[in-house]
Amino acid sequence: MTAITRFAPSPTGNLHVGNIRTALHNWFLARKAGGKFMLRIDDTDAERSREEYVEGIRADLAWLGLDFDGEERQSARLGHYEAAFETLKASGRVYRAYETAQELDLKRKVQLGRGLPPIYDRSALRLTEDDHAAKAADGTAPHWRFLLDHDSPIAWDDGVRGPQKFDAASLSDPVIRRADGSWLYMLPSAVDDIEMGITDVLRGEDHVSNTAVQVQMFEALDAAPPRFAHEALLMGKEGKLSKRLGSLGCESFRERGIEPEAIAALLARLGTSQPVEPIADRQALVASFDLGSFGRAPAKFDDADLDRLNTAIVHQMDYAAVKHRLPDGMDEAAWHAVRPNLMVVADAAEWWRIVTGPIDLPEFSDEDRGYLAQAAGVLDFSAGDPWHALTGTLKKTTGRKGKPLFLPLRQALTGMDHGPDMAELLLVLGEETARRRLERAAS
């Protein structure tokens, strides 16, 4: 069966690293199977949903390289949920209830005090039609709950967690529709998965109990449930859930100069038995994606790991992939020369400024100034490798070696104590600029 997965964000804010991980894994799952990856915008919360967030979600997915094969918006599918609701109503699988949040909280406290599980006690099922009529006369609208079948065991083979079993009697009948007629997550999501042909639902382990309920919803709607997999949640490096993870999104990654390939490389294998490596080839990550490698322990996200991966990815990037992001005039030779010294692509601008000048020089001793004057006199670009020709000649004529041989030359040519390989950088500087800088340092 062809895999069809979906990513279903609510447009009530920007995508954060947890959302990105979910989207990425569903994209991997679909692409590895040669299937489809669908985007579903869960915008039934009209009060909190914003169109700019919808546009932001699409833009972030595009930046991450996660192309999707179709898009649905829940706000355009309200009639579908109404039809499913009427089907459930006709079969007796939904019922009216009226308790307020405060009343439910009190019930839970009483149950806990008696050593009972804090689940809904189904007291609304004991209401008569006269009771409902009285509520209506008082202007009290009901909310609606899905009636779980306590005699039907709930089980599925989870793609990450293995065989799962739930006793329906240990679960609360979930509210699926509010008193104002708006929908909660459960029913619309199940209806969408059925009608969009979703075959695989990969999401966080915080949805496990939702899945148990939705398995019965699928059955009540005469549909086969998709394959479910629930992965461990992301945590901070300090060992507990980090509030900061919610603020880590594509915008902050872009501002820091993080490459989408680095994000994909880290999140593809974080929390799995596979090594996290700077793999820039997206297809290689797709080929190695395996739910069987996912662990049950929380996956720990560390910014430092992302920075290290990003640096390694940048060091692999070809000129063609970055030339539109480089300063005017910076060619392939210059990129190749400075690339090993970059943490992010934007750092290339500072090295290009050093190439194009002007540069600030340190104070040189009289001895070093004489040495640099001699260097300016013997500099020869007719050889294919002017740097090694220069240092080879100076080593013979001055007896210098090591730091005294190389450091004054680097400082005179770049104004820096460290930096790119000078054999490459000298060619980028060119003979005229290099000789002028040596003569200036010597004076």
Mean pLDDT (whole number) for 161-172? 96
What are the structural domain ranges in the chain? Answer: 4-73+185-233, 80-177, 236-314, 319-356, 366-442
Mean pLDDT (whole number) for 408-412? 98
Q: How much of the chain exceeds pLDDT 90, in percent? A: 94
Q: Please, is 24 exposed, middle or buried when counting C-beta atoms within 10 Å of its C-beta (0-12, 13-18, 19+)?
A: buried
Instruction: pLDDT band for 370, please (50, 70, 90 cuts).
Output: very high
pTM of the model: 0.91
**What fold characterizes domain 236-314?**
Glutamyl-tRNA Synthetase; domain 2 (1.10.1160)
Length of the chain: 443
pLDDT, one tens digit per residue, over 80-137 is 999 999 999 999 999 999 999 999 999 999 999 999 899 999 999 999 999 999 999 9
CATH architecture of the domain 366-442 equals: Orthogonal Bundle (1.10)
pLDDT, one tens digit per residue, over 151-160 is 999 999 999 9
For residue 352, pLDDT over 80 is answered with yes
pLDDT for the residue numbered 213? 97
pLDDT, one tens digit per residue, over 312-323 is 999 999 999 999
For residue 337, pLDDT over 90 is answered with yes
Instruction: pLDDT band for 428, please (50, 70, 90 cuts).
Output: very high
Please name which of 154, 169, 157, 206 lies closest in space to residue 185, comparing C-alpha atoms: 206
Mean pLDDT (whole number) for 47-74? 96
What does the H/E/C string look like for 4-61?
Answer: EEEECCCCCCCCEHHHHHHHHHHHHHHHHCCCEEEEEECCCCCCCCCHHHHHHHHHHH
pLDDT for the residue numbered 12? 93
Give the count of beta carbons closer than 10 Å to the beta carbon of residue 308: 16
Please name which of 62, 58, 73, 68 lies closest in space to residue 26, comparing C-alpha atoms: 68
Mean pLDDT (whole number) for 138-160? 97
CA dihedral 333, 339, 345, 349 (to 10 degrees): -60
> What is the C-alpha to C-alpha distance for residues 137 and 292, in angstroms, rounded to an integer?
56
Pair 36, 4: CB distance under 8 Å: yes
Give the count of beta carbons closer than 10 Å to the beta carbon of residue 210: 18
Q: Kindly report which listed range (52-56, 195-199, 242-246, 376-380) carries the lowest average pLDDT score.
A: 242-246
- What type of residue is 304? A
Residue 240 is assigned to a ligand binding site: no
Query: Which residues, in sequence order, are bridge partners of residue 204?
Result: 231
pLDDT, one tens digit per residue, over 266-277 is 999 999 999 999
**What fold characterizes domain 80-177?**
Glutamyl-tRNA Synthetase; domain 3 (3.90.800)
> What is the C-alpha to C-alpha distance for residues 195 and 209, in angstroms, rounded to an integer?
22
Mean pLDDT (whole number) for 45-60? 95
Instruction: pLDDT band for 422, please (50, 70, 90 cuts).
Output: very high
Mean pLDDT of the residues in the chain: 95
Q: Please, is 398 exposed, middle or buried when counting C-beta atoms within 10 Å of its C-beta (0-12, 13-18, 19+)?
A: middle
Instruction: pLDDT band for 242, please (50, 70, 90 cuts).
Output: low
Pair 282, 264: CB distance under 8 Å: yes
What token pair was written down for 204?
Answer: 């966080």
For residue 405, pLDDT over 90 is answered with yes
Pair 369, 443: CB distance under 8 Å: yes
Q: How much of the chain exceeds pLDDT 70, in percent? A: 98
Alpha helical stretches, state H, 357-402: 366-378, 386-398
For residue 142, pLDDT over 90 is answered with yes
Instruction: pLDDT band for 248, please (50, 70, 90 cuts).
Output: confident
Domain 4-73+185-233: give its CATH code: 3.40.50.620
pLDDT for the residue numbered 185? 93
pLDDT for the residue numbered 237? 75
pLDDT for the residue numbered 241? 62
pLDDT for the residue numbered 229? 98
> What is the C-alpha to C-alpha distance for residues 278 and 284, in angstroms, rounded to an integer?
11
pLDDT for the residue numbered 243? 64
For residue 364, pLDDT over 80 is answered with yes
For residue 1, pLDDT over 80 is answered with no
For residue 239, pLDDT over 90 is answered with no
